[in-house]
Amino acid sequence: MSRRALTLLLASLLALGLTLAAAVARVPYVALGPGPTYDTLGEVDGTPVLEVEGRRTFPTDGHLDLTTVGVQARLTLAQALRGWFARDLAVVPREVVFPPGRTDEQVDQENAQAMEESQSAALRAAARQLGFKVAAVTVRELGEDSPAEGRLRVGDVLLAVDGKEVRDAAELRALISTRTAGEPVTITYERAGARAQARITTGTSGGDGERRPVIGVVTQEKAVDVPFEVKINLEDVGGPSAGLMFTLGIIDKLGADSLTGGKYVAGTGEITADGTVGPIGGITQKLIAARRKGAVVFLVPEGNCAEAVGRPPAGLTLVKVGTLEDALDGLEAVRRGAQPTTCAS
């Protein structure tokens, strides 16, 4: 065999070896891709995703899909290279999804716990929006030179501000904030089982934050049972990002009016009990998954808008939401055929 032929043979063998190595060698990356979507107004395997008990429900139309991200772990080098060039995949370091020092099982357990907490927050956010009391707000302490000194005591349960029911601590602050510092408010409270009222002249908040009217009390919350139960029938879905869509699904089922107007709506976003919507991961993959299923409207957490507008799927309106109220306002605009506030606004 000539030297040239031997060189070509060795080079071919080397190339074959590298190709085989790339096909089997694992790299410390994972691929994130579009995952399944689930209609919170629909069913999975014949079982409603949301089952409401203890309250009358109403027929629904359209879709309110929660979206997920599929994770392909233990990539080979060849798979990682293909993923880097795929529009619907994101190849990221493994520790982004599976933090060092924690096993895959521990991460799965944490995601399951986050899902449970998300469901609880969604129930409270929906109940609050529907007008139900979701927490008992009590006075934990009075601040120094408090305007409430001599009028309220530690342990008092705060029931209303100027006749408007206090459903949680966030609403207490919101109701007081409608006043101007120095204006009086009437606080209805309960002490030792008896109701009473106190008229308090508001002061001004201290610290470096925005100045607002206050009554000078530090409060604490105790969750109260809402007059209905919701069972969420989904398996193999973890993390907190379905909170917003769970909330909207509950509201739609318990409200006489359709939220979607028959349209195919999808979305994502973590939610707190007071209705604040937080950003999530994998927004690009979720947009693709939603559009593939037929969604024409996607509710995008405000904190994800910058990424979402990068390369959005054609035909998908990206509605910007920072709160539950934003989501409801956006859906109302969609139903009316008006332009909602979008990520591009």
DSSP code string of 227-283? SSEEEE---S--SSTTHHHHHHHHHHHHSSS-SSTT-EEEE--EE-TT-BEE--S-H
Q: Is the pLDDT of residue 319 over 50?
A: yes
The ranges assigned to domains in the chain are 34-130+227-336, 135-223
Residue 146 CA to residue 203 CA, distance in Å, equals: 8
Q: What is the pLDDT of residues 45-57, one digit of tens each?
A: 999 999 999 999 9
* Per-residue b or e along 25-38, where b marks 16 or more CB atoms closer than 10 Å to that residue's CB: eebebbbbbbbbbb
| Per-residue pLDDT reduced to its tens digit, 328-340 | 999 999 999 999 9
Question: How many angstroms from the chain centroid is the CA of residue 271?
Answer: 4
Tens of pLDDT, residue by residue over 125-141, are 999 999 888 889 999 99
Q: What average pLDDT does range 81-105 have in this prediction?
A: 69
Q: Is the pLDDT of residue 12 over 60?
A: no
**pLDDT tops 70 at residue 225:** yes
Instruction: Say yes or no to pLDDT of 23 above 50.
Output: no
Where is mean pLDDT largest: 63-67, 127-131, 233-237?
A: 63-67
The torsion defined by the Cα of 16, 17, 20 and 22, in degrees rounded to 10, comes to -110
Alpha helices in the chain (DSSP H): 3-24, 77-84, 94-97, 104-129, 169-177, 243-254, 283-293, 305-308, 324-336
CATH code for the part of the protein at 34-130+227-336: 3.30.230.10
CATH topology of domain 135-223: Pdz3 Domain (2.30.42)
Give the angle 21-22-23 at the CA atoms, nearest 5°: 90
Q: Could you tell me which of 258, 323, 315, 261 has the C-alpha nearest to residue 290? A: 315
Predicted local distance difference test score (pLDDT) of residue 85: 65
Asked if 332 and 321 touch (Cβ cutoff 8 Å), the reply is no
Q: What whole-number distance in Å separates Cα of residue 120 and Cα of residue 123? A: 5
Residue 218: its pLDDT value, please? 93
Q: pLDDT band for position 11 (50/70/90)?
A: very low
Alpha-carbon span 119 to 271, nearest angstrom = 9
Question: What tokens does 235 get?
Answer: 């398996």
